[in-house]
A and B are shown apart, each in its own frame.
Chain A
Amino acid sequence: MEKTIANKTIEVSDEVYLLNFSDWNKELGEGIAQEEGITMTDDHWKVIDYIQHQYKNDVPLTIRKIGKSGVVDIKGFYSLFPEGPLKKASRISGIPKPVSCI
């Protein structure tokens, strides 16, 4: 389906994950974060950069992996993106829903 975020109309999945990573830009990430009730800071962007980097290299992401990344620990990851950190951070990063749930 189509959705307009940060004045940009983009294709998203039923669970509102970007369908095309190439649509992503920082303003859009900011817009999605706002919908999630998150105000982005440098610490948030560091995590988003890490997630996008892993995604581009085809590395499947898990909360554990992010906790071991050196960018943030699991507790910190939760305080930056409360409740569903991996889901929220993935949505803001413009990547598909993580497949760690199978």
Chain B
Amino acid sequence: MSNHLRRALKDEWNITIIDQRTEHHYQPGYLFVPFGVYEPEDIVKPIEKFIPDGVNLKLGAIDKIYPDKDKVVMVSGEEFNYDILIVATGTDIAPEETEGMMGPHWHKDVFDFYTLEGAAALAKKFKDWEGGKLVVNIAEMPIKCPVAPLEFTFLADAFFEQKGMRDKVEIVFATPMSGAFTKPKATEKLDYLLKEKNIEIIPDFNLMSVDGEAKTITDYAGKEVSYDILVTVPTNKGSALMERSGIGDELNYIPTDRATLQTKVKENIFAIGDATNIPASKAGSVAHFEGEVLLENVLNYINGVKLKEGFDGHANCFIETGHGKALLIDFNYTHEPVTGSFPFPGVGPLTLLKESRMNHMGKMAFKWIYWNMLITGRHLPFVTTKMQEAGKNFD
């Protein structure tokens, strides 16, 4: 965003990024760490590397945002006044929200893979695990990258097969959704893949508690599932900064207009990515597509022009299915993922909602695209901000 803004705004505009971390993580890479595909050093780079010329970087944590006073106050006490504030604080796991999830078993038998620590601990566990029951679970929706847990089960299936021990590993996917994914057509296809890979799905499982001693999870309806290894995606929450500032919803997401990306807190506060409460996927592609709309609306706001209702909820996600193949899905607020070709209608080379090697290559190439293009605010070749309807097989 700051790359976009620095190019678009005159020098009289001062741009400051406030970040509490000194490192930037390639989060889509976490998924591959447990299976030894990526090492932690492949997916971490110093943040300074990506700050464009003419943009200030302030490292440190923010204590509070004061919308009425147009200022943010750091934990250190330092204050920053602003004309425009863009909130991009993302979302994080909150394992403490589920009774019993944290404890001596955390990162021993109960793992997350949404943090580098969790993913790396799991890699270590898998290395000399002799088999048993692996339960993959989503605590509650919404979560960041909603396809990742499913990809995890597919990759685990392939991983243990390659190790020659698939017959010793039972894989179970316990999800609060009524099927493999949130959208009906994709669910149909993905349910079939789960069956093919001999992965048991337990739908409508809303996690209430974890018993680390007995190694069981229980849902609100009283269903109990035992595990040897539990890989869970804990409740996701926005930054506690929203709660401290009194501007978040019950999950600390900031109420935001789904089409303009202006927050409902105040007209000079905008939000992008996972920090918002808009009904789009919490996926990196969404943040990328939002960037363009947000830039336009920040400029509209500065120029006193009506904001454009430009964001359509566009998301584009690769789904790794293991064995060097992947699916691709492309959808928005109104259209669910369907089959077809992408990005060129009728040509591809990528196939929508259908496994192919080309899709997998696309996913692996994405790490390069991310570090070299996305993060610097450059356009993805041939991919439009608004979802294209051509080349898709709608009913």
A-B interaction: yes
Residues of A participating in the B interface, judged by any CB pair closer than 8 Å = 60, 62-65, 68, 74-75, 77-78, 82-84, 87, 99-102
A60 — which chain B residues lie within 8 A by C-beta? 277, 279
A75 to B207, CA, bound (A): 11
**Interface-central residue, A63, A65, A99, A102, by most chain B CB under 10 Å:** A102
B146 — which chain A residues lie within 8 A by C-beta? 102
A82 to B221, CA, bound (A): 7
Contact B279 A74 (CB under 8 A): no
A60 to B32, CA, bound (A): 34
B219 nearest in chain A by CB position: A78
19 A–B contacts from the bound complex (CB under 8 Å): A60-B279, A62-B141, A62-B251, A63-B206, A64-B140, A64-B250, A68-B250, A74-B208, A74-B220, A75-B208, A75-B220, A77-B220, A78-B220, A78-B221, A83-B204, A87-B178, A101-B142, A102-B146, A102-B279
Nearest Cβ on chain A to B316's Cβ, whole angstroms: 14
A100 — which chain B residues lie within 8 A by C-beta? 141-142
A101 to B146, CA, bound (A): 9
B204 — which chain A residues lie within 8 A by C-beta? 83-84
1/0 contact trace for B105-124 toward A, CB 8 Å? 00000000000000000000
A101-B250 contact given A64-B140, A83-B204, A84-B204, CB 8 Å threshold: no
Contact B221 A83 (CB under 8 A): yes
Within 8 A of A (CB), among B184-228: 204, 206, 208, 220-221
Nearest Cβ on chain A to B231's Cβ, whole angstroms: 21
Q: Tell me if B254 is interfacial: C-beta within 8 Å of chain A.
A: no
Contact B140 A63 (CB under 8 A): yes
Q: Tell me if B177 is interfacial: C-beta within 8 Å of chain A.
A: yes
A82 — which chain B residues lie within 8 A by C-beta? 221
Contact B220 A65 (CB under 8 A): no
A102-B221 contact given A63-B206, A64-B140, A84-B178, CB 8 Å threshold: no
A83 to B203, CA, bound (A): 10
Contact B281 A102 (CB under 8 A): yes
Known: A64-B251, A78-B221. 5 other contacts (CB 8 A): A62-B141, A63-B206, A84-B204, A100-B142, A101-B142
Contact A99 B279 (CB under 8 A): yes
Within 8 A of A (CB), among B139-164: 140-142, 146
A43 to B270, CA, bound (A): 40
B221 — which chain A residues lie within 8 A by C-beta? 78, 82-83
A8 to B208, CA, bound (A): 39
Nearest Cβ on chain A to B91's Cβ, whole angstroms: 13
A86 to B141, CA, bound (A): 12
